[in-house]
Structure 1
Amino acid sequence: MEQRIGSSSQPLKSEPVTGAGFDPAFIPGLTSPVKEEPQDARPETDDEAETAGTAGTDAEVAEQDAPAEDDAADDSADEDDAEADDAEEADDAGEADRPVPDGPVFEAADRRARIVADHQGVRLALDDQECEFRWDEIGAVETETARFGKRFTVTVHTPDRRWYPIEVEAKARSDFKRWEEELDAVLDAYFEAE
Structure 2
Amino acid sequence: MRAEPLKAGPLKAEPVMGAGFDPAFVPGITGPTPTDGVTKSPEPKGAEEPPSSERASSEPRSPEPESSEPASPERVDADEADAEDKADGPVFEASDRRARIVADRKGVRLSLDEEACEFRWDEIAAVETESPRFGKRYTITVHTPDRRWYPIEIEAAARARFKEWDEQLDAVLDAYFEEA
- Partner residue, 1:75: none
Q: CA deviation at 1:147?
A: 1.3
Aligned partner letter, 2:131: T
Cα separation, partners in 2 of 1:137 and 1:92, compared to 1, 3 Å: farther
Aligned counterpart, 1:158: 144
- 2:90 counterpart (104, 115, 126): 104
- How much does 1:93 deviate? 3.5
Distance in 1, matches of 2:156 and 2:113, equals 17
Q: Does 1:170 align with 2:156?
A: yes
Q: Find the aligned partners of 1:147 and 1:92 in 2 and give their Cα distance.
A: 46
Structure ranking higher on relative contact order (CA contacts 8 Å, 6+ apart)? 2
Q: How do 1:14-163 residues align onto structure 2 when only pairs under 5 Å count?
A: 91-98=74-81, 99-100=84-85, 101-163=87-149
Q: Hey, what's the Cα distance between the residues in 2 that align with 1:167 and 1:131?
A: 15
Task: Please report how far the alpha carbon of residue 102 of structure 1 lies from its aligned counterpart in structure 2 after TM superposition.
Answer: 2.5
Task: Write out per-residue CA displacement over residues 66-122 of structure 1, whole angstroms, 9 at most, x where no aligned residue.
Answer: xxxxxxxxxxxxxxxxxxxxxxx7654432222325311101100000010011100
- 1:19-69 Cα offsets, whole Å, 9 max, x none, are xxxxxxxxxxxxxxxxxxxxxxxxxxxxxxxxxxxxxxxxxxxxxxxxxxx
Matched AA of 1:96: D
Q: Aligned to 2:88, what secondary structure does the other structure show?
A: coil
| In structure 2, C-alpha distance between the alignment counterparts of 1:165 and 1:136, rounded to whole Å | 18
Aligned length: 106
Q: Distance in 2 between matches of 1:91 and 1:184?
A: 34
Alpha-carbon distance between aligned partners in 2 of 1:92 and 1:191, rounded to the nearest angstrom: 30
Structure 1: distance between partners of 2:153 and 2:100: 9
CA shift in 2, pair 1:90/1:159, >3 Å: farther
- Distance change in 2, residues 1:128/1:92 (3 Å): farther
SS in 2 for 1:107: strand
Question: Can you give the 5+ residue segments of structure 1 that lack an aligned partner in the other structure?
Answer: 1-88
Cα distance in structure 2, aligned partners of 1:133 and 1:115: 11
Q: Percent identity?
A: 68
- The separation in 2 between residues aligned to 1:183 and 1:119, in whole angstroms, is 12
**Structure (1/2) with the larger helix percentage:** 1
Q: Aligned pair in 2 of structure 1 residues 124, 92: CA closer, same or farther (>3 Å)?
A: farther
Look at both structures and tell me which one has the larger radius of gyration over its CA atoms.
Answer: 1
Residue identity matched to 2:113: D
CA distance in 2, matches of 1:147, 1:158: 27
Query: So what's the TM-score if we normalise by structure 1?
Result: 0.52
